[in-house]
Chain A
Amino acid sequence: EPEVTQTPSHQVTQMGQEVILRCVPISNHLYFYWYRQILGQKVEFLVSFYNNEISEKSEIFDDQFSVERPDGSNFTLKIRSTKLEDSAMYFCAGSGEQFFGPGTRLTVL
């Protein structure tokens, strides 16, 4: 059964640094999503992506965030200048059942 994959599984970075989180969605999905979960809290929607552009985004998804699908397979989330409060688990998901990837734990020091 096809799976959503995410890399890296854990990323540690210094405040102010840029990070790129990568996802390989299931190939026949059309919509792609990023969510985040701060430790011990609920999962929150960040952004949806369709036909190579952002479909919807939440208030959390400010100018520090960007998404792209550079090569038709990878789907990336970039945080331009990380803050301490960006520390969270980031999940990628695809349309339909919204199967989630295993997540990337981002730790900002």
Chain B
Amino acid sequence: AQKVTQAQTEISVVEKEDVTLDCVYETRDTTYYLFWYKQPPSGELVFLIRRNSFDEQNEISGRYSWNFQKSTSSFNFTITASQVVDSAVYFCALGGSDSGAGSYQLTFGKGTKLSVIP
């Protein structure tokens, strides 16, 4: 069975501070995918990144960066110079197929609510 743990339930930072959201996962699959989604108050799930298990390179996209460490089963997300618009719930998710059926269902963490205070 797959599991995603986001230990931080809520985080508050002051605007312009950097913040890191933690994600730890468990899987027996050798091939899997890791995702981050943003859920603003309006409720939609906004795709941020997908990373496959063979690609451990860190990624940067503007103020966002991701640190994938297979050795510790972690896929952490850092927002640099946070802004009020970053306030949302952020979900980490793990994609894999328990049955090997070819599709891969996502297992989500419980999410981290980020509040950026002006």
Binding site for B on A (CB under 8 A): 31, 33, 35, 41-45, 48, 50, 55-56, 58, 89, 91, 93, 95, 97-100, 102-103, 105
Contact = CB atoms under 8 A, between A and B. Distances in A.
A43 B107 CA distance: 8
B108 A56 contact: no
Given A31-B103, A56-B97, A98-B95, A44 B45 contact: no
Contacts, number: 59
B106 interface: yes
B63 interface: no
Contacts of A99: 47
B32 interface: no
A93 to B, nearest CB: 8
Interface residues of B, number: 23
List 10 A-B pairs, minimum CB-CB distance, nearest first: A48-B103, A100-B45, A45-B105, A43-B108, A55-B103, A31-B103, A42-B108, A42-B110, A102-B44, A55-B101
Given A97-B47, A100-B44, A103-B45, A42 B102 contact: no
A42 B109 contact: yes
Q: Which of A31, A95, A98 has the most CB of B within 10 A?
A: A98
B43 A105 contact: yes
Contacts of B43: 89, 102-103, 105
